[in-house]
Amino acid sequence: MVDRIHVAPLHAVDCGYGLTLTLLPMPGKVPLYLEDRAAEQPQAAPTYAALVQANGHRVIVAPACAEISDTVRSHLRLADVVFFDGTLFTDDEMITAGVGTKTGRRMGHVPVSGVGGSLEGLADLPARKIFLHINNTNPLLLNGSPERRQAEEAGFEVAFDGMEVRL
């Protein structure tokens, strides 16, 4: 049986087995299904990235991020490897694909491309950068697509089922 551990944002917690976990606040938004209630409480809770440390190595997993702010960049600079929100390649991808009516930013996900996107905002990040949480409309999923080549040429990788990362 695993004991539950209380984890407060920005406070490292020893999880045993040589692992330390720190939650890093990321810009987020209230979930779409709660937006009506959010009118009464407009402050949206942040999403969180997980900073996992072991044996002197640091990995950050940030599957949802609404904006790449200076604070986000400073958090991500802590890592040797960053798994980052790759939900949509373009902000209007779901609309263009005819499968949704909201932009990525509206849903709380920074797009991969464009002004303020992760290719631009994380370009100078020294860590190994890997996109995850990729929507099925995202052309990053297609080997050899122009979008995939653009990301790879910019120093990013795309996570895949069964991927192993060794530090």
Domains of the chain (ranges; CATH) run 19-34+45-158 (3.60.15.10)
pLDDT for the residue 8: 85
Q: Using 50, 70 and 90 to split pLDDT, how confident is the model at 34?
A: confident
DSSP code at position 4:
P
What is the H or E stretch that residue 130 is in?
strand 128-132
Q: 15 pairs with which residues across the strands?
A: none
Average pLDDT for 19-41: 78
Token digits of residue 165: 């990362």
Asked if residues 142 and 96 have their Cβ atoms less than 8 Å apart, the reply is no
pLDDT for the residue 46: 75
Model confidence pLDDT, tens digit, residues 54-113: 999 999 999 999 999 999 999 999 999 999 999 999 999 999 999 999 999 988 899 999
Widest pairwise Cα distance in the chain: 47
DSSP output for 5-39: ----TT--EEEETTEEEEEEEE-----GGGHHHHT
pLDDT reading at 30 higher than 90: no
Q: Using 50, 70 and 90 to split pLDDT, how confident is the model at 44?
A: low
pLDDT, greater one: 50 or 106: 50
Residue type, 96: T
pLDDT for the residue 100: 93
pLDDT for the residue 4: 75
Model confidence pLDDT, tens digit, residues 120-162: 999 999 999 999 999 999 999 999 999 999 999 999 999 999 9
pLDDT reading at 40 higher than 60: no
